[in-house]
Amino acid sequence: MDVEKALGLIKRSPTEEILTEDRLAEALNSGQHLRHYIGFEISGFVHLGTGPLSMGKIADLQEAGIKTSVFLADYHTWINKKLGGDMDTIKRIANNYFKESLKVSIRSAGGDPEKTEFILGSELYEKLGRDYFENVLKVSSTMSLSRARRSTTVLGRKEGDDISLSQLIYVPMQAADIYSMKVNIAHAGMDQRKAHVVALESSGAFSYKPIALHQHLLMGMHITEQQRQEVIAARGAGDREKAISTLIDIKMSKSKPQSAIFIHDTEDEIRKKIGEAYCPAAQLEINPLIDMVRYIIWPFLSRTGNSIEIENKKSGSSASFEGIAQFEEAFASGKVHPADLKTAVAEYLISMLEPARKYFSEGQGRKFLEEMNDVKITR
């Protein structure tokens, strides 16, 4: 593929940062075969951020000719005390519900799940043996104890939280995963940036330096006006760290089910959740519904060649928008009411998620979802 076209696919939304773009362009120009990975804890139901958003980026990378892989981080899940800390349960859910959810999401985003390798962490570690242990030590030797403690925010912990020694090893393991799999492009949300920076800074202990690709964090639907203002103020003051920290706090999370849309939610659940979502009128910045249109709905519509259609309940008329910029201009000027936007977003999501919903309610995935429901109830 043409280098400029490949670079455009890799850089396009939801990508927000590449460390560094120059090294990525150099790798593409050299004709180097690039290997990608994104890793996930196996800690709950798959929502829009984990599924369509992240797997949409995988679809982009596949189109750019990059070998994609998903790392099912069972040991990281165990260290972080998720799913009751039961390793057998974690492995079972990883290989069944979680893997199948991501495969369905790749397909719905226009990618090919058969072209993505799924790697279970424990199997990789067993295969590599001492080599993996040495890689963990190589990374650890480049870090101070205070740096390790600061990096535990990637586990969803706050600085200063009481953590175990094993949780301090989480980030060195995460960086060692990258080198152990010989990954060229390490992909994650902005909340994993600290772990990737550790990996980049420890590259001197290895034979190459990877590229880090960080994507947008999809907002949860029940943020507060205070949180919205905190992000806006931090951005206005140029405090990037504070802005990212607050965005991590308000991201869509499986631990807050009413603030997240799961890929197998029923039609009624989707309508109810979207109907209760925070959506300040005429405000584009830090607005969960606008976020959803930008990063979930519009990519879906643009792939299928459709425009954004919003019906005005009051007048009965409809407005059609050929692109996201045109839609945002109309919303910012008050021409699109939040209630009408919510109705449209709910119906688009219902349509978009239909394959996943059917797979997990009527198809082979039903037993996997039932298994996951049992774990959530008993753990």
pLDDT in tens, 99-122: 999 999 999 999 999 999 999 999
pLDDT mean over 331-347: 97
User: What CATH class has 3-215?
Assistant: alpha beta
pLDDT mean over 22-26: 96
Break the chain into its structural domains and give their ranges. 3-215, 225-251+266-352
Reading phi first (left if > 0) and then psi (alpha if -120 to 50, else beta), residue 81 is in: left
What span, in angstroms and rounded, lies between the C-alpha atoms of 118 and 68? Answer: 9
What span, in angstroms and rounded, lies between the C-alpha atoms of 90 and 103? Answer: 18
Q: Is the pLDDT of residue 377 over 50?
A: no
Q: Is the pLDDT of residue 316 over 70?
A: yes
Same fold, 3-215 and 225-251+266-352: no
What span, in angstroms and rounded, lies between the C-alpha atoms of 266 and 147? Answer: 43
pTM comes to: 0.94
Is the preceding peptide bond at 20 cis, omega within 30 degrees of 0?
yes
Lowest model confidence (mean pLDDT) among 36-50, 244-258, 336-350: 244-258
Kindly state which CATH superfamily the domain 225-251+266-352 is placed in: Tyrosyl-Transfer RNA Synthetase (1.10.240.10)
